[in-house]
């Protein structure tokens, strides 16, 4: 890819897992945002820590997209799984992303839809296809789930939260996080292809998922970062992969 690839992660543990694959990097702080420049196989990378939550993610993405004009954005890290059959450390690569804490339905919009925006944001078809190729090349690929990512400024853990999400989205939400909606929304506004690549750190509704999150955070972050590196290598060899939609 001729343009830089932007890699973003929310938490310190997720960032460290990502930087471990690109140890030769320059670090700086720009508008209170931690940025890292690296090259991998000739491909220029700009790596950033967004911080947790939608506003932090949107601010960081707007900065990256306006100042560095990347060819695509890959968001790596962890998420919580909502579907039966998912297991901790499975991969979650959503095709669509929606807010689960936005309600403008009295004005005739779909639940999760903001005024002036789509009800759901779609990941790049080209990047999804490229990632499927990466996964097929793995000697022991992890299970990978797609579907809908639900994003909110809440750590989802209670039966009441789960019931509301399942009711509002007809049980179609495969996983939840706190940044994906803002990342998808900002990339869509800027017209930049994006992909969200997460590993499952916990499963809301199954026991103490807050404890699971703390226990498996680093392992899940490492799992997603490892496959993010493989995706970067494939993109550097196929410069037009992200342009397919």
Q: Which candidate in 14, 96, 179, 212 is catalytic?
A: 14
Q: Which candidate in 13, 96, 202, 223 is catalytic?
A: 202
Please tell me the distance from the alpha carbon of residue 194 to that of residue 187, in angstroms, as a whole number: 7
Please tell me the distance from the alpha carbon of residue 101 to that of residue 173, in angstroms, as a whole number: 13
SS (H, E, C) the chain: CCCCEEEEECCHHHHHHHHCCCCCEEEEEECCEEEEEEEECCEEEEEEECCCCHHHHHHHHHHHHHHHCCCEEEEEEEEEECCCCCCCCCEECCCEEEECCCCCHHHCCCCCCCCCCCCCEECCHHHHHHHHHHHHCCCCCCCEECCEEEECCCCCCCHHHHHHHHHHCCCCEEEEECCHHHHHHHHHHHCCCEEEEEEEEECCCCCCHHHHHHHHHHHHHHHHHHHHHHHHHHHHHCCCHHHHC
| 212 labelled catalytic | no
Query: CB of 65 within 8 A of CB of 57?
Result: no
| 13 labelled catalytic | no
Q: How many CB atoms lie within 10 A of CB 96?
A: 19
Q: List the catalytic residues.
A: 14, 202
């Amino acid at each position: 890819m001729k343009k830089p690839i932007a890699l973003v992660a929310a938490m310190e543990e997720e960032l460290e897992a990502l930087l471990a694959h690109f140890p030769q990097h320059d670090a700086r702080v720009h508008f209170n945002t931690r940025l890292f420049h690296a090259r991998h196989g000739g491909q220029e990378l700009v790596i950033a820590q967004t911080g947790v939550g939608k506003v932090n993610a949107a601010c960081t993405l707007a900065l990256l997209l306006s100042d560095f004009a990347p060819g695509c954005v890959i968001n790596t890290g962890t998420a919580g799984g909502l579907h039966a059959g998912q297991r901790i450390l499975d991969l979650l690569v959503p095709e669509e992303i929606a807010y689960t804490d936005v309600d403008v339905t009295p004005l005739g919009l779909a639940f999760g839809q903001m005024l002036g925006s789509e009800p759901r944001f779609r990941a790049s078809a080209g990047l999804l296809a490229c990632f499927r190729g990466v996964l097929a090349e793995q000697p022991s690929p992890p299970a990978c789930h797609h579907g809908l990512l639900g994003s909110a400024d809440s750590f989802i853990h209670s039966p009441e939260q789960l019931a509301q999400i399942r009711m509002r989205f007809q049980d179609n939400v495969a996983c939840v996080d706190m940044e994906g909606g803002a990342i998808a929304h900002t990339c869509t506004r800027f017209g930049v292809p994006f992909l969200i690549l997460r590993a499952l750190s916990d499963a809301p509704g199954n026991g103490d998922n807050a404890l699971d999150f703390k226990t498996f955070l680093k392992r899940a972050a490492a799992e997603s970062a490892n496959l993010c590196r493989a995706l970067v290598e494939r993109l550097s060899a196929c410069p037009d992969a992200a342009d397919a939609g």
